[in-house]
Chains A and B, each alone.
Chain A
């Protein structure tokens, strides 16, 4: 990491005054920022995405230096777990001898140090130029910067809230900010006299502006990068929005520089504000502070990292022990499988699968990414904007149009929707118009009294459900992405590719049961800005029913089956594929497109439907334990939550996620994994060229790590990476939330999503990945995929192999060596999780 070299020396050797120096450092700095998606399609993002080329400890050090971030659970908490026997001394010893650097090598010495240590100080360091300036009139300049830049950014990124747009659009971030800064009188009025004049002197081009500002500072590349990181992380939310614009350009194959422009804005603000602050700012003081901070390496951080690593080791040891013992106890799958049910890998599906297998032992369940391999986008009926139904890592390959079977009826519905939308838009202008709002409230306002009461009682929704909004009532039930059970909008070869990819990915190229059910999942919540976070992440934060229906239609397509047969994948003529959807909020499972079921399969489908119903009613009871006890029936309570407009926890989402298992179900069948484990079906014997394994490790495993790390970061540093308190959320620009009236956009998950009062529902752990395959196969994939290699070798996920022969779990150290992780039984008889045990208490 950063050397603590003398800054003046580097100035001379690298010609730190030269304008060429700033640009590359800026480019390097912006790569560290992870993107954030709009609320409409809010998907989990690994907040450390830009740091995966560093190992966990280096990233934690960097984040701490630049932003005072915490990257682990508190030391005190981990020590408590040590006392409680959840972490063993052996875990600590292993962690000490592992890749993490710490001076103490013997466990006793380390623990003595840990027990006498305080917690890591989480205070943001003062690294800006303005923090060295004398602020006029008691103004907190750093906070003022976040407020003012937030005010501009809110208007610039506004996606339809303000009807009078007040930020210059279309000329890029820097030009728009500069235009506003020349007009906005606030800094001058708040005592920063001359702020506008200072901005006016800046070059209009972002790169030259940043360079000209920093040319006299004489900062080495190291200090520059620290300064840039500190700036970007002082407004992590708006930085992430700019990063997403770059990301989307990248998905389209282009390259754009929104985040670079944003960094230039931050640099220029800092410069102009300190120039306007009145008293001359001492550049030497500033450089000194940066240099001090670059050397900053608190021992609390390294202690906390070792303890975090020890806890991760304990968790994986426990999981490995259970997997190894379960193998012996697993009930064998019935030979005559009545139906195969494929669920999403989502941790919530684990609960459903477990209960379904319990009520229907002759049903086999499988796990596969919930978009079922169809990278599609769907244009809702009458809309002009496609919704991506695939993971954020993937660009949609095909565009489908939602429709009704009958074209005339569809036309009618489209016309009706557009007319209603036009009138609703006119009504909204009337309601919010600068003059018309006064003519609106007197006659219409009173009608909100009954609406207020019925919305509060959960009888109505504040606004119509978006999927069917503005459609005539008769049209809603017939909406389908696959009219007539066909997906004609995707060419045949692409359909065949989707079908083959899905069957291979599920290891279902042979042995198909008469009934194959694809169960996507979605959530139903009301008045919840973060609704998308509870939906299917593999479907881009949208409901998974669409993908299930599309892929089911493709797999039932006779043309596709014929082509598949030519490629050696035999779908038996007696196999029918049905789509279904699991509502994770109410825990209801519904089978879809039932009118297309052939007569031969009706009984089987009906029977499976009642099995799913029975399983779901057990799921809802199990999940109710995570909420406060209530006298109500669990299913009623879940329904009530899903309709309550004041509900901040309609469901727990993926809170608690901690492991990813890619194996045959025989390895996990019968185990209660507590809804904390992503389960992907994988049979290494059918994967000769390791294409499926590489696919699993480079896509579903990465997505699982994103989700886990998002929960991790929102828990360990809710200020920097969490979305704050839901009760103060204020939706800005219809695309994100502020906490309160302004400032930075909040990213990540809200407190309410990870904790319940003071009790955490999510224990911050790194993802333990368990793959049933020979270690050589796994090594081969790690070697040929750089993104996977980074995650694994830098410790962002903990990679394990389940030995296909004896079922033993081997862990992969960062040097690539494999060793068993479950070293004998440990005195812990807890069920799936230790924290769950605590929660029950």
Chain B
């Protein structure tokens, strides 16, 4: 299955790199050359992605032979997993770059911005296509370095710099862990080709200590990349840079963590502790971040917390061995989140349309329970229709439980309201549609990915951890369902303040970073007494070429 021409898929990242190089040279307002080159690059990328989809669908997975020495070098894998993510990124690239052309119109540094976006996209694409450890590590590091440049697009903004530094600390730590994992694996197996490593690992011919070290490092690197609690601080602050960066980061770059775990499942699955860690850390982050999210008054920070939560949820699914479900969640989240960021200005339209009286929430336990019962009553027959036996596989049971909790929220919001009965029907229909879509997409993903993914069964420890997380989810749901009809006690109020502040993990991270950079900053201290803008952000009237 080694076909050399599959290396042609690298035209896509190459195209973005060329476009980035062209765009860097384009100076000034409305850099036509930059705009044309990134536009062309993004369309080429999409064309390549579609072609590779067709190729894999018709010809099966492909891995190109190694271009390099000592088992390290360039090698591309095209399999359902990489192609799905690759295509997703290519679609996002077209939309995000198109958005940036209008959005930064008139900005004197638009060319530079487009160039940095294109560079980052190229790095992510290489990462996704990597079939060799060396290529993977290099692309991994380049992704975060390229992203860093986007995060400090406005270097005069102190908060942007602080957030980027936090990201820098987390990213370098993650890089280190990935390098350790790669080195251990390379030493044990003697090659950097991932296929070979995975084969050895599944065959059990890698010693358990190196395997455990590698799995541990990989999981930890993924967690750092994806802003798991308590290192999430940077993620909820990087809206100090233009919106398209947030869209790309949340939809295209943050994914690298779960993607690494998915890719290296053959290794991670051998170490049950790794799976437990994924379930616990992922599940905890999912619960905390989504509770912090609903206390946030600003739309972009709320979206930031939401992303951390979804990455946690994806990692949890990975830990449970539910890879197809994790991939589905990851891809679905990317499109959802890119749209949410790019359309975040529309909340004002929503506010204008929101002054419609809504029925009173009653807070009746009976009605809430009825809502839950309806959700279950919709789920069980649907599962039967789709031929899924949740009880046959405990991990699937956990996933099903999350869906039922979710549809309970949907239905109970209606049944617990003092509204017309026809609304109950509407709620039930929506829940049925959601449940059906869930099974349809899960089934599709399973078909797409089942022969790629090793059949991993979650161990008892993972399941226990997942059970604990699910119970936690249940408690949170009950809190949320009862909130609209309940008076706020002082204690609950205090907890919400703690949650809004992300349980202060971010404040501690701030202090750490300020301490780390202290020597550097002290040298740079200027005579300016306080922070009303640094000279670069002074009213641009003085710097205006023309008035």
Contact = CB atoms under 8 A, between A and B. Distances in A.
Interface of A: 39-40, 67-68, 70, 73-74, 76-77, 80, 119, 122-126, 131, 137-140, 142-143, 147, 151, 154-155, 157-168, 179-180, 183-186, 189-191, 380, 382-385, 415, 417-419, 421-423, 425-427, 429-430, 432-449, 451-453, 455-456, 461-466, 469-470, 526-529, 531-532, 628, 644-649, 715-719, 725, 727-735, 738, 740-743, 751-752, 755-760, 763, 835, 838
Contacts of B336: 441, 444-445, 448
Contacts of B455: none
Contact of A439 (B91, B349, B403): B403
- Is chain B's binding surface mostly helix, strand, loop or mixed? helix
B119 interface: no
A142 B547 contact: no
A423 B402 contact: no
B294 A163 contact: yes
B531 A186 contact: no
Contact of B346 (A186, A527, A838): A527
A382 B356 contact: yes
Contact of B529 (A131, A436, A531, A645): A131
B348 A531 contact: yes
A439 B434 contact: yes
Interface stretch (B11-19, B188-196, B222-230, B511-519): B511-519
Given A439-B409, A466-B352, 11 more contacts: A123-B528, A143-B158, A164-B295, A186-B501, A419-B423, A433-B406, A435-B287, A443-B441, A466-B353, A470-B353, A728-B241
A440 B413 CA distance: 15
Contact of A741 (B159, B331, B515): B159
Contacts of B365: none
A138 B353 CA distance: 45
A439 B400 CA distance: 9
A680 to B, nearest CB: 29
Most chain B CB neighbours (cut-off 10 Å) among A425, A447, A527, A758: A758
A438 B298 contact: no
A380 B355 contact: yes
Given A143-B531, A419-B423, A757-B106, A432 B293 contact: yes
B144 interface: no
Contact of A434 (B158, B293, B414): B293
Given A185-B501, A734-B351, A463 B294 contact: no
The 5 nearest A-B residue pairs measured at CB: A439-B406, A445-B332, A124-B532, A385-B355, A462-B343
B86 interface: no
B144 to A, nearest CB: 20
A423 B507 contact: no
B539 interface: yes
A728 B154 contact: yes
A757 B108 contact: yes
A539 to B, nearest CB: 14
Contact of A183 (B159, B426, B494): B494
A77 B547 CA distance: 7
B485 interface: no
A726 B498 CA distance: 30
A185 to B, nearest CB: 5
A463 B335 CA distance: 16
Given A138-B521, A189-B511, A437-B309, A758 B546 contact: yes
A733 B434 contact: no
10 contacts: A137-B511, A180-B497, A183-B497, A423-B423, A426-B430, A434-B291, A439-B406, A441-B310, A441-B329, A465-B349
Nearest to B336: A445
Contacts of A437: 290, 293, 306, 309-310, 406
B343 A455 contact: yes
A421 B543 CA distance: 49
Given A185-B498, A730-B298, A740-B240, A131 B100 contact: no
A37 B544 CA distance: 30
A186 B515 contact: no
B493 A529 contact: no
Contact of A426 (B346, B413, B539): B413
B2 interface: no
Most chain B CB neighbours (cut-off 10 Å) among A167, A441, A469, A763: A441
Most chain A CB neighbours (cut-off 10 Å) among B299, B352, B407, B434: B352
B537 interface: yes
Interface string B1-43: 0000000000000000000000000001110000000000000
Contacts of B100: 646
Given A131-B530, A741-B300, A185 B102 contact: no
B243 interface: yes
A162 B494 CA distance: 15
A569 to B, nearest CB: 37
A138 B518 contact: yes
A731 B344 contact: yes
B239 A728 contact: yes
A139 B331 CA distance: 40
B493 A166 contact: yes
Contacts of A185: 498, 501, 504, 507
Most chain B CB neighbours (cut-off 10 Å) among A179, A380, A436: A436
A716 B539 contact: yes
A435 B476 contact: yes
Contact of B356 (A384, A646, A719, A727): A384
Given A433-B480, A730-B298, A40 B30 contact: no
Given A191-B511, A435-B402, A728 B540 contact: no
A179 B499 CA distance: 16
B361 to A, nearest CB: 10
A750 B4 CA distance: 53
Given A126-B529, A435-B477, A731-B348, A166 B406 contact: no
A440 B408 CA distance: 11
A741 B544 contact: no
Given A162-B294, A648-B103, A732-B297, A759 B544 contact: yes
B140 interface: no
B480 to A, nearest CB: 5
Contact of B243 (A421, A465, A728, A755): A728
Contacts of B355: 380, 383-385
Given A126-B529, A184-B497, A427-B430, A162 B541 contact: no
Contacts of A179: 493
B354 interface: yes
A735 to B, nearest CB: 8
A122 B539 contact: yes
A137 B510 CA distance: 11
Contacts of B175: none
A446 B332 contact: yes
A719 B537 contact: yes
Contacts of A649: 105-106
B172 interface: no
A150 to B, nearest CB: 10
Nearest to A70: B539
Contacts of A738: 298
A435 B349 contact: no
Interface in B379-420: 402-410, 413-414, 417, 419-420
Contacts of B325: 442
Contacts of A384: 355-357
A763 to B, nearest CB: 7
Contact of A419 (B301, B333, B406, B420): B420
Nearest to B404: A439
A421 B370 CA distance: 22
Contacts of A165: 295, 488, 496
Given A124-B530, A434-B293, A730-B239, A166 B405 contact: no
A444 B529 CA distance: 51
Contacts of B508: 189
Given A423-B427, A719-B532, A433 B294 contact: yes
A731 B299 contact: yes
A140 B351 CA distance: 35
